[in-house]
Amino acid sequence: MGLKNFLDITLGRPIDGDRVEYFGEVKKKCNGYVLSNATNQPAAAYAYEADITKLWDAYKELKSECGYPLSFNTIMMKAMVEGLKAAPRLNAHIDFKPFSISGRLIVKKHINIAMPVVLDSGETFPVNILNAEEKSLKELQEQTTDVVTRMKTTNIQRTYTDMVLNRGIAFALTGKIAQAIAMGVKGAFGKSKMGKISDLFNQPPKEENALTPQHINEGTVCFSNWGTLAKGLNGMGTQAPLLYPQVFMMGTGTVQDKEFVFRNSKGEIDLGVKKVMPITLTFDHRIGALNDVVPYIKVLDEIFENPSVIKEW
């Protein structure tokens, strides 16, 4: 064994035949969010399999008669909005100072849902569905389709640069000079930096229909449909990282047919099939405990049991 091989193996460095993949700008930005969660947020999660048999049937019926391309993903996003109306403290940002153990919860007026979108590169990036609480089901579907379409033609690097610059300017205009300088340093050298400083002066023209910085900032909550992002997976997510400073996210899995045992009208043991969807709810434990999430769960369960309400959305 030569010296180089000895050093590579001993130090765990790449050896001949290994494939090395360097993180691109999109992955760096996503990792920045995840790292903030891992170091700043004591997250807890509640996971269960929801019986959506009645909701699925109601969705199929509505889809056939509504006159526009309606996805079940949008149905669940609208259900999330209804749940947040009953549990508004989940639609919030947390501002916490660990040294003094003090902070505040900023309950947001608008519901801006961060939704992961798969890019052509295969990477995922969260994009915001804005003011979801004001949207009808049709409007929510239209905005989701529009945002996904625009995302695929948007230069993320350019839009992210605009977002960081806008935030730095806002800090400066409100007298927060230190934060403005910190934002500039973070954007140039931090974990989720904007790229090379020279690139800031050589930006491509902004696309006519590009997403705005508001579409890619933190949002107020996150909705991640693993069943859509990775079809065919029948497992359940036990926990997913929050997008700091958000305090809540909902993840849903693939709709599945499952056998179950029940008593029929004659009181006899019988076997049936129902549709279930794995649901994972992750929340920041500093806002409270599971009792803060219970009103949200009850709204979802009511929709699952009495789904005719979706025709009124």
Residue of 222 and 203 predicted with greater confidence: 222
Lowest mean pLDDT among 46-55, 93-102, 166-175, 290-299: 166-175
Does 10 reside within a domain?
A: no
Q: What is the DSSP letter of 168?
A: H
Mean pLDDT of 284-295: 84
Does 29 reside within a domain?
A: no
- At 235-280, the pLDDT tens digits run 666 667 788 888 999 999 888 888 888 787 788 888 888 899 999 9
**Is a pLDDT exceeding 70 seen at residue 215?**
yes
Question: From the centroid of its chain, how far is CA 250?
Answer: 8
**Is a pLDDT exceeding 80 seen at residue 74?**
yes
Q: Which residues constitute the domain of residue 264?
A: 42-151+214-312
The two tokens of residue 201 are: 């002066």
First-residue to last-residue Cα distance in the chain: 69
pLDDT confidence of residue 200: 47
Share of the chain above pLDDT 90, in %: 33
The two tokens of residue 299 are: 């709204």
Does 35 reside within a domain?
A: no
Does 18 reside within a domain?
A: no
- What's the CATH code of the domain at 98? 3.30.559.10
- At 108-152, the pLDDT tens digits run 999 999 988 877 777 777 888 999 999 999 999 999 999 888 877
Cβ distance 125 to 31 under 8 Å?
no
Share of the chain above pLDDT 70, in %: 73
Residue of 256 and 182 predicted with greater confidence: 256
- At 104-118, the pLDDT tens digits run 888 999 999 998 887
Mean pLDDT of 2-21: 73
**Is a pLDDT exceeding 60 seen at residue 212?**
yes
Does 268 reside within a domain?
A: yes
Q: What is the mean pLDDT of the chain?
A: 79
Cβ distance 256 to 277 under 8 Å?
yes
Of the candidates 241, 253, 254, the one whose C-alpha atom is nearest the C-alpha of residue 282 is 241
Does 79 reside within a domain?
A: yes
pLDDT confidence of residue 201: 46
Burial class (CB in 10 A: 0-12, 13-18, 19+), 165: middle
Does 163 reside within a domain?
A: no
- Residue 55's pLDDT band, with cuts at 50, 70 and 90, is very high
- Residue 208's pLDDT band, with cuts at 50, 70 and 90, is low
d(CA 109, CA 201): 36
**Is a pLDDT exceeding 50 seen at residue 98?**
yes
Does 269 reside within a domain?
A: yes
pLDDT confidence of residue 288: 74
**Is a pLDDT exceeding 50 seen at residue 197?**
no
Q: How many domains does the chain have?
A: 1
**Is a pLDDT exceeding 70 seen at residue 28?**
no
